Amino acid sequence: MSDVLIQRLTKRHGEVTVLHGIDLDVPRGEFLTLLGPSGCGKSTTLFALAGLDKPSGGHIAVGGRTFYDGEDGTFVAPEERNLGLVFQSYALWPHMTVAKNLAFPLTLRKVPKAEQRSRIAEALELVDLGDYADRFPHELSGGQQQRVALARTLVFRPSLLLLDEPLSNLDAKLRIKSRALLKSLQRQLGLTTLYVTHDQEEALAMSDRIAVMEKGRIVQIDRPEAIYNRPATRFVADFVGAGNFLPVRASRGRQGEIVEARLDHGEVLRAVRSAATGSDTQGFMTVRPQYLRLAPAGSAVAAGNNRLDGMIEERTFLGVRNGYAIRVGDHLVTAESEDRFETGPVTLAFRPEDTLLLDH
Amino acid sequence: MNAPAFPSGNTTAPSGTMAAPSGTNRQLTLAIGIQWLTAIATLVLVLAPLGPILWQSLLDRPLYQPNAVLSFDNFARLLSDAGFLRAVATSFELAFAATAIACATGVGLALFLERTDLPARGAFRLFALAPMYMSQLVNAFAWYLIYGPAGYLTLFGEMLVGVPPWDMYGIGGMAIVAGTSMTPLVYLFCSSSARMADATLEDAARSVGAGPLRVLWSVSLPLMRPSIIYAALLVFIGTLETLAVPLVFGRPVGLESFTTFLFSRGLGAITPDYGLVGAAAVLLLVLVAVLLAVQSVLLKGAGRFVTVRGKAQRPRRIALGALRRPVATVFWVYFVLTLMLPLLAIIARSFTTFLTPLLSPLKVLTTDNYALVLGHPAYLRSITNSVIVASVGALVATLGIAVIALVAKRSAFRFAKGLEYLAMFPRAMPGIVAGIGFFWAMLLLPFAHWLQGTIWILMIAFAMRGIPTAYGAIAAALVQVGTELDQSARSVGAGWWKTCTAIVLPLIRPALFSAFTLLFLGFLKEYASAVFLYAPGSEIIGTTMLSLWSNGDTGAVAALSVIQIAITGVFVSLAHFVTRTNRDV
Ligand SMILES: Nc1ncnc2c1ncn2[C@@H]1O[C@H](COP(=O)(O)OP(=O)(O)OP(=O)(O)O)[C@@H](O)[C@H]1O
Ligand SMILES: [Mg+2]
């Protein structure tokens, strides 16, 4: 059952096109994250959904109701959409106490005073701020403000929860704590949630699915493990922390199939195709540093595994592990190992399942 | 794809979904209605005086007469009218001279009060800004009482040297009165730029051997150049627009200015020459508009000169050393001559039967002037009218202009940008031109005649003139309120208008209050646009003073002036008290 449906959503600012046709289909109860670098259009997408930014074309529907349609000119005002939006800056109204901030959406919905009080208490309890009702926003810490902002959107029971980098103004420790709170709340309430962030770790930890955006397009949408292990493009791979991109020529194959790939200086390796493609293509091979096993130069490699010979140029002490910069042909490959190797020749072994073939 | 449907309602947590607030459609209609209404009202308000003037300038007979023919005849007649050309020349001479005087004194004040360790800076600052609170009319009368042909000091000088030591009638005298009364404008602009100046530049000059005056002249002054040019244009425009000074110090010796020309041709003549007045008004309007355009171009460039540092620094002051006392003395003399003596004269005159050095004022003490003013219903009414116009008018205008600012700055209204230009346009309309325009509008518009001779038309005219000032104050504050504060209100279900009233307006209360203060003081002082609009029953202090003055009733004029100053004083202290005690406002 699809709860949020976005089709061919575009947004232009004069000559600049910010969104090039976004398609999204979010089932009820799902936690979907829009992940991408700064300026890729995440907020624009979210604000278009909330009605705070008027798109240039496309279609938006939530719970079966059309909110926007570029063709017939439908545009539902933000106040009619009943969506809960949490802003990066929290946007608490500075002239109202915490309780007044929470009461405002309820008053707009003509909720009786007595019920308002119990709802506000409930919502504040939910975010662990029961005793802070009479404080003004400036009397709260950043983390508390963030929770008030969350309570303010939950208190009127929106049909959708939209979060625009809600944790980015918190310090690292608090961010991890808030992440857990947010996730458990979302589970508890079963709220369909769209979450915007540029932090891959946050996205991987919280989401049911992640949509990775690049320059106004969704380039991959999948479960976190798939995004992490099977990035579809070099951009996605790069964004979720993969490294060691080596240019290769690969033969055709289906997605998920293990195929042969030829490095530019001749070695043939076996790698998983991340996406189905046509004939012989120029692409990239990538393997995460922790998947590379180091062995003394010339060691035998288990059957079926990939092998590369190189020269250790530099070793960096990382604590438990050592980091290595290894020259393979014209390329520098980074690897990590608990074992200690000195600079000089070395053999690298890695499994085809850990090696990924990317088109671009 | 995996779509975990998390069970809900297993806790006490709020579950399920509420509907969006009801009546959102009504909210939408309300928002669009308010936005259009605001834009149309503003357009009508600005065009009401402008349209009739433009129209009349092209008609061969008064605009209320039928069968008029369109032509440029009026302009041709005007440009061949020797009296008009002389008046324009006089206005320009006056404007140049007054600008020079205001810039010299204003810049001097800014430099010494903000960049040096001059003693008594606090008091000087107060004196420097004081003339801003005073009506030009009161200021001109006050100067007349002390430096005019029969002025107290003039007669005193005559007693000493046998002949009058000076003659305030003429360009020179007018320039001194206008220039000193506009000094605060220059001081205000230059002092803020002086405060932000980088003190290390001055220190560098000191370290290479420049004396304190040399540093001020060669380093501090050039740094203020953009502010000076900007303020100079303001003063120039202000002098072109002023009616009081040429009325008091020019007309008695037959010296007409642009504004007195409009005044006497439009009002003084038995059969006013509508076409000529219309054409002259259009020319003045165009002139001011061009000067404003020049100014805004200069202001754009001026931003680049600003030497503000992100790092907050308290500018060090130049030590004047041995010059401290002499410079302070010069300042004291200046303020005594231009501010205190005129004020003292008008207060003294209001309590005496006449003021002359030949008689001790104590011998001619009287309260008759006040008795006359307060006892005569028409005079008394002018005081109450002034207070009503200033308080009610300023309140309503503040609210209306706040809505204009909200629509222009905080709405999706299609013509928001156009509305902003419209709001700034009245800057180009001198008071006397606005007065003529509204007067004609009442003749022309069928439903407007019931406004004639009421204080409502005065409020409308004053409000129109006040839009740019109040708009500036409110819009500046609006920019400071982050847009996510209204976006979040919209997303929780508030319509545009609800967001404005519940979130945005409460947050800019201080700016609304200062806009109200500015408008109140402006309305209280305004007279130029009222002279064409008032009628028995709707007199205000300014118009009553003018008619008493032309009757030679100096004592009553002085009493009214003192009353106006007292009202201003009470209001300013109240406003000060409110801002002091209520940080929120
Ligand atoms: N008014 C505008 N005119 C032109 N371009 C704009 C305008 N507003 C936004 N953009 C552009 O739209 C793009 C997307 O903006 P958006 O705010 O959606 O980015 P984002 O992905 O949320 O980035 P961030 O992580 O920095 O918040 C940006 O490249 C931005 O420069
Ligand atoms: Mg963003």
Span B130-137, mean pLDDT?
92
Span B347-358, mean pLDDT?
89
Ligand 1 within 6 A of CB of A9: no
For residue A304, pLDDT over 90 is answered with no
For residue B145, pLDDT over 90 is answered with yes
B581, B568: one domain: yes
Quote the minimal CA–CA distance from B294 to chain A in Å: 30
A40, A125: one domain: yes
CA A44 / ligand 1 centre spacing (Å): 7
Span B192-220, mean pLDDT?
74
**Residue B208 placed within a domain:** yes
CATH of the domain at B156: 1.10.3720.10
A188, A281: one domain: no
A213, A261: one domain: no
If DSSP codes are grouped into helix, strand and coil, which group holds residue B436? helix
Q: For residue range B490-515, what is the model confidence (pLDDT) as tens digits?
A: 999 999 999 999 999 999 999 999 99
pLDDT attached to residue A48? 95
Check B484 against A87: CB less than 8 A apart.
yes
B251, B103: one domain: yes
The verdict on pTM exceeding 0.80 is: yes
Distances (CA, A) of A122 to A127, A136, B11: 9, 19, 11
Distances (CA, A) of B123 to B99, B103, B118, B119, B129: 25, 21, 11, 9, 10
Ligand 1 within 6 A of CB of A16: yes
B302, B391: one domain: no
Q: For residue range B520-558, what is the model confidence (pLDDT) as tens digits?
A: 999 999 999 999 999 999 999 999 999 999 898 999 999
**Residue B167 placed within a domain:** yes
Task: Grade residue B266 by pLDDT with cuts at 50, 70 and 90.
Answer: confident
- Return the H-helix or E-strand segment holding A23: strand A16-27
Q: Which ligand is nearest to the CA of A34?
A: 1
A262, A215: one domain: no
A·B CB contacts under 8 A: 148
Domain edge (last residue) among A171, A197, A229: A229
For residue B2, pLDDT over 50 is answered with no
* Mutation probe of ligand 1 site: the residue of A12, A33, A43 with most atoms within 8 A of C-beta: A43
For residue A242, pLDDT over 90 is answered with no
Residues in chain B with CB shorter than 8 Å from the CB of A190 are 5-8, 15
Residue B5 touches partner A, C-beta closer than 8 Å: yes
Task: Grade residue B306 by pLDDT with cuts at 50, 70 and 90.
Answer: very low
- Closest CB from B490, B503, B507 relative to A78: B490
* Helix, strand, coil distribution of chain A in percent, nearest 5: 30, 35, 35
pLDDT attached to residue B198? 67
Distances (CA, A) of A161 to A40, A47, A186, B482, B483: 21, 12, 9, 22, 20
Quote the minimal CA–CA distance from A131 to chain B in Å: 17
CA A38 / ligand 1 centre spacing (Å): 8
Which domain, by its residues, includes B503? 25-54+363-585
pLDDT attached to residue B308? 42
Domain edge (last residue) among B308, B334, B349: B308
For residue B204, pLDDT over 80 is answered with no
To probe the interface with A, which of B1, B8, B29, B488 has the most A CB atoms within 10 Å? B488
Task: Grade residue A272 by pLDDT with cuts at 50, 70 and 90.
Answer: confident
pLDDT attached to residue B210? 74
B142, B242: one domain: yes
A248, A331: one domain: yes
**Residue A35 placed within a domain:** yes
Nearest CA owner, ligand 1 atom 8: A13
- Residue B160, CB half-sphere, CA atoms under 13 Å: how many? 9
If DSSP codes are grouped into helix, strand and coil, which group holds residue A46? helix
- Return the H-helix or E-strand segment holding A193: strand A193-197
B282, B378: one domain: no
Nearest CA owner, ligand 1 atom 19: A39
Total structural domains within chain A? 2
CA–CA gap between residue B511 and residue B526 (Å, rounded): 22
Which of A42-46, B62-66, B461-465, B498-502 bottoms out in mean pLDDT, i.e. has the lowest? B62-66
Quote the minimal CA–CA distance from B19 to chain A in Å: 7
A60, A86: one domain: yes
CA–CA gap between residue B364 and residue B347 (Å, rounded): 14
Task: Grade residue B175 by pLDDT with cuts at 50, 70 and 90.
Answer: very high
CA A40 / ligand 1 centre spacing (Å): 7
**Residue A236 placed within a domain:** no
Span A216-221, mean pLDDT?
94
Which domain, by its residues, includes A309? 242-358
Query: In chain B, which residue's Cα lies nearest the Cα of A120?
Result: B14
Residue B11 touches partner A, C-beta closer than 8 Å: yes
B153, B199: one domain: yes
A8, A156: one domain: yes
**Residue A308 placed within a domain:** yes
Total structural domains within chain B? 2
Pairing type for strands A331-337 and A16-27 reads: unpaired
pLDDT attached to residue B222? 80
pLDDT attached to residue A261? 83
**Residue A237 placed within a domain:** no
A6, A99: one domain: yes
B452, B503: one domain: yes
Q: For residue range B414-466, what is the model confidence (pLDDT) as tens digits?
A: 999 999 999 999 998 999 999 999 999 998 887 777 888 899 999 999 999 99
pLDDT attached to residue A359? 75
For residue B245, pLDDT over 50 is answered with yes
pLDDT attached to residue A9? 96
CA–CA gap between residue B334 and residue B314 (Å, rounded): 29
For residue B3, pLDDT over 50 is answered with no
A176 or B311: whose pLDDT is higher?
A176
Ligand 1 atom closest to residue A11's alpha carbon, by position in its atom list? 12
Q: Which residues are found with C-beta within 5 Å of the ion, ligand 2?
A: A 43
Task: Grade residue B13 by pLDDT with cuts at 50, 70 and 90.
Answer: very low
Check B15 against A157: CB less than 8 A apart.
yes
* Percentage of chain B exceeding pLDDT 90: 63
B49, B62: one domain: no
pLDDT attached to residue B514? 92
A218, A269: one domain: no
Residue A104 touches partner B, C-beta closer than 8 Å: yes
Is the complex ipTM higher than 0.85?
A: no
Domain edge (last residue) among B263, B292, B308: B308
Nearest CA owner, ligand 1 atom 26: A38
B158, B128: one domain: yes
CA–CA gap between residue B161 and residue B157 (Å, rounded): 6
Domain edge (last residue) among A229, A256, A278: A229
Contact B241, B351 (CB under 8 A): no
B48, B63: one domain: no
B492, B574: one domain: yes
pLDDT attached to residue B7? 37
A222, A248: one domain: no
A23, A53: one domain: yes
Quote the minimal CA–CA distance from A354 to chain B in Å: 23
CA–CA gap between residue B103 and residue B99 (Å, rounded): 6
A193, A92: one domain: yes
**Residue A284 placed within a domain:** yes
